[in-house]
Structure 1
Amino acid sequence: MASSALQDDSDDGMDEFMDKFKTQKYENAFSESNWEKEFEKVPMFMKTAPDEINPETHPDLACLQSIIHDDDRPPEEQAQCLKDEGNEYFKEKDYKKAILTYTTGLKKNCSDQDINTVLLTNRAAAHFHLGNMRSALNDAVAAKKIKPDHLKALIRGAQCCMELRNFAEAIQWCDAGLKLHPTDKKLQELRAAADKQKRAAERDARKAKAKEKKDHSEREALLAAIKERGVKLLQPEKPPQHGSDSEDEDGGSAAGVAELSLDGLSSQEATGARVFMDEQGSLQWPVLFLYPEHQQSDFISAFSDSSCFIDHLAVMFGEELPPWDTDSKYLPQNLQLFFEDEEKETLYQVDPETSLLKALQHKRCFVKAGTPSFIVLVKGSSFWKQFLTGKKTQRL
């Protein structure tokens, strides 16, 4: 009877407990709005691992991680678990975390060299996908030292060398691998590609060297021609200095005058053109005409030193005048040309019938930044009078 009474009490209690669900809602139950979020807390259903594992927010995951990283277990078992964990990060393309995990596995110093080799090759793969080719190559080398016949290490080493454009070394990796794996298609393809790239790089290097030699020869010939004509170059960063002690009234100051060197022909970056020698042996200069009255300019990319100024002025101010010449004053017969001697603060007038070479050979004409420049004024104009007032002028 006592037993029957206890049974009745138990049944009654269960009925009462179950009756609560009819009137009270279970607070921690999944709902349509939160089931996905709750599932994400379960390690089995997680799509991605959290950056930081907090025991309070992810107790199950923290428990699993403590099992994986249990230092009481053998190093081989710990390294194996870390390798597997790193592989999961790798599959998720989280290569940085994969590298950290593989590195932790290597620090376990396990005695299983197969595991260490895989950790190294897998870390090399993660570095490779991040573009860290040097680190990837170092890991491939380390893996190859442990297991010289490890196929993935050999392939990865060759791939890294290809990316680093060290094609000769890539071929060495492939040859070493093909001795051990003679039928591996990946190594065969890599070797063929490395050999092709190596030959192309060598060909490009030969072409570049030949072009460099040709360019140097042409520039030396150009400088010799400039020197022979007596043209003086100025370093663009060192304009003439006023009051130089070495000033000579006839020949002028040597200060700021460039030795005939490649530095004196540096206008190409600024103007897109530089002096060159044509097939007839004439020097073609980039020349700048300045019109201070209107703050305008003209640039001639190739002005032969044997041509006269009037040849170009007749074209620039011929039938059609520039739009800024509203008074139609800039007619060839009205124009005067000057070059400026900045050191002596003197303007030298150039006859339009004069050749460019004769002007450049003047003892006070210095070519700055590889580009001769000339000021163009309208003779007799009000601006002409104002501009020349107080300035020293001389005829060429």
Structure 2
Amino acid sequence: MASSGDDGMDALYDHFKEKKYKGGFNEDNWEEEFEKIPMFMKKPPEELDPLKHPELACIQSMLYDEDQSPEELAKTYKNEGNHYFKEKNYKKAIISYTEGLKRKCNDCELNVILHTNRAAAQFYLGNNRSALNDVIAARKLKPNHLKAIIRVLNQRQRQCNAAWNQCLFLTIGVLCHIELKNYSQAVAWCDEGLQFEPKEKQLIELRAKADKQKRVEERNLRKAKLKEKKERVQAEALLKAVKERKIKVFQPQELTGQNSDDDDDDKEDSRVLRTLFDGINSENGNVVHLDENGNLSWPVLFLYPEYEQMDFISAFHEDSRFIDHLSVMFGENLPPWDTEKKYKPNNLELYFEGEQGEDLFQVDPMCTLRQILSHDRYFVKAGNPRIIILVRGSSFSKDFLSGKKLQAI
């Protein structure tokens, strides 16, 4: 029997000796083959397919076995999150830390670390509000955590993981407050830490940065308030000048609303100013303004319906006459669109429309802008006084005026 057994082994040996094994490792593929073995993997696959990676699926089922205690599962998710964090895959790290927190384990220290680590991952993704919420949650779980942090910093143990987690708690909290422009809170957090360790360099630097930005913000706020006050005073003076001249401002229906009679004077004044400052040329700063001598200058439109053209005068002084501007605009150099050269100062007629555009009122070119704006039938529309200019006696002028109701002023 022994001889028979030996013969069998010899036959098996001879069989493998003749048949070359093709699945073995060699110097060209051993690293690639090792990477397929879960124990030696440097990086897990992005998506775990149980059919392609049955060994990994088996290991995962053991790691995340729901029969484990909440503390064990939370720790497993924490370690997984730390792995993703190290790989700078912060989104997956957040998912892992969140799963750990969902276990609701009774280990307060572990929950603090999960919140702190998730805060770090959120911070690196730019989610400052979420990061700050996690830091605050960690602080609520362990109110004396800040003191422990300072103790760690004081002992200069930044290399160990525990120190790193605790340093994150304070640093990320302060940095999030800075990013969210909560400079006062950032300074307060630093001050609280400096009570325990007055010479801590990291806290001193962060506090200096937050305090500097806080001062800049306060200075800008003071400037903004002064500017707002100045603009309010100017607006009140402008409104007073408009009222004194009895200038009427046309307000669109969307501004006045349905119950304008019930509005108080402040709302009425606000609507008037909004109409004056929201004109078609207001984006370039071309709005009515009051000079140091108490005189108004207006952005005025001259409309030429015959050629569908217009001229814009950005600052028409209220005491200037229309003829003075026309003499300059239609002097020696006529506009290129006036091919017939018929737009001459003494050959022009000026009109303005009534409130609803149904009437036309002829304007004497010798009148000043103030005289026209103060007329009881004139309304300033969209912040820009408008004057229609026609050539006296032209065929277009006759056709244009034929459908209008002319009024004398």
Q: TM-score, normalised by structure 1?
A: 0.86
* Match 2:351 to one of 315, 335, 338: 338
| Pairing 1:304–2:317 present | yes
Q: Could you tell which deviates more after superposition, 313-322 or 2-11?
A: 2-11
Unaligned runs of 5+ in 1: 241-257
| Aligned position for 1:10 | 9
Deviations 1:302-353 (A, max 9, x none): 1111101112112222222212111111111211110011437211111111
Q: Could you tell which deviates more after superposition, 182-191 or 204-213?
A: 182-191
Structure 1: distance between partners of 2:255 and 2:365: 27
Q: 1:343 to 1:57 in 2, by over 3 A?
A: same
| Aligned position for 1:265 | 276
Structure 2: distance between partners of 1:35 and 1:320: 89
Q: Is the 8 A contact 1:287 1:300 kept in 2?
A: yes
Letter of the structure 1 residue corresponding to residue 196 of structure 2: L
| Pairing 1:119–2:117 present | no
Secondary structure of 1:288's partner? strand
Letter of the structure 1 residue corresponding to residue 51 of structure 2: E
Secondary structure of 1:196's partner? helix
RMSD across aligned C-alpha pairs, in angstroms?
A: 2.8
Structure 2: distance between partners of 1:308 and 1:72: 94
Secondary structure of 1:137's partner? helix
| Aligned position for 1:253 | none
Deviations 1:274-313 (A, max 9, x none): 1001122210101111110111111111111110111211
| Aligned position for 2:82 | 87
| Pairing 1:225–2:259 present | no
| Aligned position for 2:175 | 159
Structure 2: distance between partners of 1:47 and 1:376: 83
Q: Is the 8 A contact 1:178 1:187 kept in 2?
A: yes
| Aligned position for 1:212 | 228
Letter of the structure 1 residue corresponding to residue 237 of structure 2: A
Structure 2: distance between partners of 1:299 and 1:235: 22
Displacement of 1:152 in angstroms is: 2.5
Displacement of 1:202 in angstroms is: 1.1
Displacement of 1:193 in angstroms is: 0.9
Structure 2: distance between partners of 1:120 and 1:259: 53
Q: 1:109-258 alignment to 2 at 5 Å? A: 109-145=104-140, 146=142, 147-149=145-147, 150=149, 151-237=167-253
Displacement of 1:67 in angstroms is: 2.7
Q: 1:270 to 1:34 in 2, by over 3 A?
A: farther
Secondary structure of 1:329's partner? coil
| Aligned position for 2:162 | none
Q: TM-score, normalised by structure 2?
A: 0.83
Q: Is the 8 A contact 1:235 1:263 kept in 2?
A: no
| Pairing 1:387–2:385 present | no
Letter of the structure 2 residue corresponding to residue 174 of structure 1: C
Structure 2: distance between partners of 1:48 and 1:331: 85
Structure 1: distance between partners of 2:35 and 2:313: 72
Secondary structure of 2:361's partner? strand
Structure 2: distance between partners of 1:329 and 1:136: 73
Structure 1: distance between partners of 2:342 and 2:133: 75
Q: Is the 8 A contact 2:355 2:378 kept in 1?
A: no
| Pairing 1:286–2:299 present | yes
Unaligned runs of 5+ in 2: 150-166, 257-266
Structure 2: distance between partners of 1:238 and 1:182: 60
Aligned length: 375
Query: Aligned residues: percent identity?
Result: 55
Structure 1: distance between partners of 2:51 and 2:311: 77
Q: 1:379 to 1:68 in 2, by over 3 A?
A: same
Q: 1:71-82 alignment to 2 at 5 Å? A: 71-82=66-77
| Aligned position for 2:372 | 359
| Aligned position for 1:276 | 289
Structure 1: distance between partners of 2:394 and 2:27: 91
| Aligned position for 2:163 | none
Structure 1: distance between partners of 2:224 and 2:8: 100
Counting helix residues as a fraction of each chain, which structure ranks higher?
A: 2
* Match 1:53 to one of 37, 43, 48: 48
Q: 1:354 to 1:46 in 2, by over 3 A?
A: farther
Letter of the structure 2 residue corresponding to residue 170 of structure 1: A
